[in-house]
Structure 1
Amino acid sequence: MRVDPEVQAALAAGQPVVALESTIIAHGLPRPDNLRVAREIEATVREHGAVPATIAILAGEVRIGLDEDALEALAYSGEVAKCGVRDLPAVLARGEDGATTVAATSHLADRAGIRVFATGGLGGVHRGAVETFDESADLGTLARTGICVVCAGVKSILDIRATLERLETLNVTVLGYRTDTFPAFYLASSGVPITWRVESPEEAASVLRARDEVGAPGGVVVANPLDEPMDAELHDRVLAEGLEAAAAEGISGRDVTPFLLERFHSQTEGESLRANVRLVLRNAALAAQIAAAL
């Protein structure tokens, strides 16, 4: 594991650091938007008082914090593996490049001593999981790490009620940031209530300190709704049509999510992409404020 000198110095001095995933750079956004947005996310973390630590695997080495050359390599290389925790050993052993998912970023950030992580949305329980057992590894990883993840909930294409049930079972604390319902990524609210609400970064930080004091296992999810959500009617229409198209084409299991996301990108005339970028930047800002409050 190679920790960037700036990140290492901040951690040693007890200064705020925010972990950032790299899947959004390598797989989540089109070129050249991906590099531009990656820079904007890091700049947003700095503007709100913390040091950014984008996490990735480069040439078989875990990198905690990326310089400009590393960001460009990640953004423009066409051969970057998508790495969950289970993929890390193979990618490292082969000396390959890898972009870290929420699960892998949480795991590596926790090992590096970083307490706060900003991302777009969590993975969750997929529709039809009762038959496919398709559930994101993000959930199980959060049960084993002490990380605080700031996100915009989970995408509406997932089973949100089942996702929250699993988080409860796994002892992951879920906090609504100025909201009483769980966000649904492109939408500000899924309509599904959550138990705990916080009104400020300081209040979220106090929950994290109390979690440490009582020795509660697992992570903390801070669900931060998008302030300018996608048009709900457009969202619902694209989702319904996408589910019908997936069924008609025999697409099932883990292939459904990327199929639906591609439909959103192509059928909303860029609105879903704009929402995606905006929510990531908002989460980066809030994560930095929480890290500073800690």
Structure 2
Amino acid sequence: MIPLHFSSEVAKARETGTAIIALESTIITHGMPFPQNVETARLVEADVRASGAVPATIAVMDGKLHIGLEDAELDMLGQAEGVAKLSRADIAACIASGRTGATTVAATMIAAHLAGISVFATGGIGGVHRGAETSFDISADLHELAQTPVTVVAAGAKAILDLPKTFEVLETLGVPVIAFGQDMLPAFWSATSDLPAPLRMDDAEDIAKAFRTRQAMGLQGGQLVTNPIPKNAEIPSDVLAPIIAQALQEADDAKISAKAVTPFLLGRIFELTEGRSLDANIALVRNNARLAAQIAVALSKS
């Protein structure tokens, strides 16, 4: 087993049986500039604590897999340069070579499972990119959800993706997709979409019970809880559609591909919305952290 480096807060929570929430680190290193990235990370961690759980921000630093970061480590990560963006394919190589890397959804799920953490809060999952029928650009997040037993709370898949194909792949892979409190799937920056939810649950206890039932049945993989962004923070889909189309065209014209696509698109959408997309992103991540904490607390009591 690879040694895990637990923060003091997470180590204490493990000893006392307190609910723990995994948090990814790419939002810190690839999502926004310093110091806003660290300020946002601390806000999300505070939301988790206020909801009765302990946050465990996950990252690889100097070849060590950290489950939870101390304040100084969070500052260091927020200011680090050349940080790798880690998924299933490269997390082991990053650790073995002593490098520093930030975890995506897939890598965070892997680390969380290694640490015995069952709930993970993020912004939005990766999925099937538009034009994937020719590029074959499909996020490893989808297969991770199908094989790693972690409940992931997100505001749906990122709106820059092909959402119908993304959820079709999840259905094919047998991943439960649960909409929280509504009958349609959210679309990241937008609270609703035109996609009906395969499943709906209205309270954290039922979501926790569904996870335990899957474990009892020996079913592989996790479950995706799609939590709509608060209405007062959303950007309606009709406002976003032409902006996303423009950003996609610019990426295509510049021949941007692979891991560079998502950061480019998110950056251009930030510029085209005059920062509104980042404000929405922060609101939805915090909202997801609160729901994830409620689910983890319910799991800790079951």
CA distance 1:6–1:251, shift in 2 (3 Å): closer
Within the candidate set 177, 199, 207, 1:174 is matched to: 177
Within the candidate set 44, 66, 74, 1:71 is matched to: 74
SS at structure 2 position matched to 1:266: helix
Determine if the alignment matches structure 1 residue 128 to structure 2 residue 131. yes
Tell me what 1:4 maps to: 7
Kindly state the Cα deviation for residue 260 of structure 1 after the two structures are TM-superposed: 2.1
Determine the C-alpha separation between the residues in 1 that align with 2:247 and 2:207: 36
Unaligned runs of 5+ in 1: none
Determine if the alignment matches structure 1 residue 41 to structure 2 residue 41. no
Per-residue CA deviations over 1:141-183 (Å, capped at 9, x if unaligned) read 1111110000000122111111111111222111100122121
SS at structure 1 position matched to 2:30: helix
Q: What letter corresponds to residue 242 of structure 1 in structure 2?
A: A
- Is contact 1:18–1:45 with CA below 8 Å preserved after alignment? yes
Determine the C-alpha separation between the residues in 2 that align with 1:68 and 1:285: 21
- Is contact 1:11–1:113 with CA below 8 Å preserved after alignment? no
- Is contact 1:134–1:254 with CA below 8 Å preserved after alignment? no
SS at structure 2 position matched to 1:28: coil
Kindly state the Cα deviation for residue 124 of structure 1 after the two structures are TM-superposed: 0.3
Tell me what 2:86 maps to: 83
Per-residue CA deviations over 1:214-262 (Å, capped at 9, x if unaligned) read 1211101110011131143431221122233334444455544333222
Tell me what 2:62 maps to: 59
Per-residue CA deviations over 1:90-142 (Å, capped at 9, x if unaligned) read 21122111111110000010010000000000000111111111110111111
CA distance 1:232–1:62, shift in 2 (3 Å): same
Determine the C-alpha separation between the residues in 2 that align with 1:121 and 1:24: 11
Determine the C-alpha separation between the residues in 2 that align with 1:75 and 1:124: 26
Determine the C-alpha separation between the residues in 2 that align with 1:2 and 1:69: 15
Determine the C-alpha separation between the residues in 2 that align with 1:243 and 1:58: 33
Determine the C-alpha separation between the residues in 2 that align with 1:275 and 1:120: 10
Report the TM-score when normalising by structure 1. Answer: 0.96
Kindly state the Cα deviation for residue 33 of structure 1 after the two structures are TM-superposed: 0.6
Tell me what 2:291 maps to: 286
Report the TM-score when normalising by structure 2. Answer: 0.93
- Is contact 2:59–2:66 with CA below 8 Å preserved after alignment? yes
Determine the C-alpha separation between the residues in 2 that align with 1:69 and 1:253: 32
Tell me what 1:238 maps to: 243
Unaligned runs of 5+ in 2: none
- Is contact 1:177–1:222 with CA below 8 Å preserved after alignment? yes
CA distance 1:91–1:256, shift in 2 (3 Å): closer
RMSD: 1.5
- Is contact 2:153–2:225 with CA below 8 Å preserved after alignment? yes
Determine the C-alpha separation between the residues in 2 that align with 1:82 and 1:259: 14
Tell me what 2:107 maps to: 104
